[in-house]
A = this chain, B = another copy of it.
Amino acid sequence: MRCYHGQTIYDEGTPVEYWHRVVSGTARRFVVRPDGRRQIIDLLLAGDVFGFGARGSHSFTAEAIRDGTVVARYPRSRLESVARSDTRVAQEVLEMALGETGRLQDLILILGRTTAQEKVGAFLLHLAERLAGHPADRVILPISRYDIADYLALSVETVSRALTSLKRNRIITFTGTRQVAILDRGAIETSNPLGQVGDRPRAERERMSASDARMFDSADFGPSRATGVGGR
C-alpha cells in the first residue's frame, strides 16, 4: 500500500482488520480533540508495527506523512490463526506489541519533561536513535514543525523557538531546516531548567524520605499493619 502525504491508513472508530507495518516512509497515529487540536500519540518510522491496540475498533486515526510511504497490511484473522499453530510467530507478535509499548513509554518520558527546550531536545535524541538504529548525532527530520508540535503537545512557535534557542546555545546546529546535528548530547540529557545539575532537589529531599524512612522502619515488620484508604 503506497501512500501520499496525508493519506488515511485507517480511521478512528473503524474495526481492527489488519496489523500494519511501515515498510518505508513515515506515518502518524493521532486524535483530533473536540477543540480542533490534533494530538499525535505515535510517530511511525520504517520498520515500526502498529494498529493492534484495541481489539474492537481503532482508538486513533493513522495517516501517512510523507509521499511515497509504503505500509504493509496483515489480515488480523490470518495472523492470529497462524500464531495459534506456530508459537514462534506468536512470540514475534508479542515482540511487535512490545515495540509499540516502548515507543509509547519514550513519548511519556518526553512529555513529562518540564521545559519546551528539554522536550524538543529529548525528541531529537529519541528520533536520531530510532532513525539510525543506535545513538547518532545527525538527524534528518522526516516531519514538519507542526507535527513535532502536535507530538510534543507544544505550539509550533514554541517548537521553533526551542530549536533556535538550542542552536544559539551551541547544543545543536542546522545544515538545513530539517537537518540537525547534535553537538552537545550531555546538555540535553541532563538539562535542568535552572542550569545547575546534581542537586537532587525534590524527590530525594522531600518525597523519597517518606518511602525510605518507611522502608527502614518497617522492613523488619514485614508486610505492614494497616491498609486504610489513603495509604499512610
Which residues of A does B touch, CB under 8 Å? 2-8, 25, 31-32, 34-39, 41, 52-55, 59-60, 63, 65-68, 80, 83-85, 87, 90-91, 93-95, 97-98, 100-102, 104-105, 107-109, 111-114, 140, 142-144, 146, 153, 177-178, 189-190, 192-193, 197-205, 207-208, 210-212, 214-215, 218, 221-227, 229-232
Number of copies: 2
The answer on a CB contact under 8 Å between B223 and A41 is no
The answer on a CB contact under 8 Å between B4 and A34 is no
- Residue on B with the closest CB to A205? B36
Q: A36-B203, A68-B223 are in contact. List 16 more A-B contacts (CB 8 A).
A: A4-B221, A5-B232, A35-B201, A36-B202, A39-B108, A39-B112, A67-B224, A67-B226, A87-B87, A87-B90, A104-B108, A113-B153, A114-B153, A142-B231, A146-B207, A178-B229
Of B5, B87, B210, the contact of A83 (CB 8 Å cutoff): B87
Q: A132 vs B218: C-alpha distance in the bound complex, in angstroms?
A: 31
Q: A65 vs B227: C-alpha distance in the bound complex, in angstroms?
A: 10
Q: A134 vs B211: C-alpha distance in the bound complex, in angstroms?
A: 32
The answer on a CB contact under 8 Å between A199 and B41 is no
The answer on a CB contact under 8 Å between A105 and B59 is yes
In the assembled complex, which residues on chain B have CB atoms less than 8 Å from the CB atom of A34? Answer: 189-190, 192, 197-198
The answer on a CB contact under 8 Å between A101 and B36 is no
The answer on a CB contact under 8 Å between A215 and B2 is no
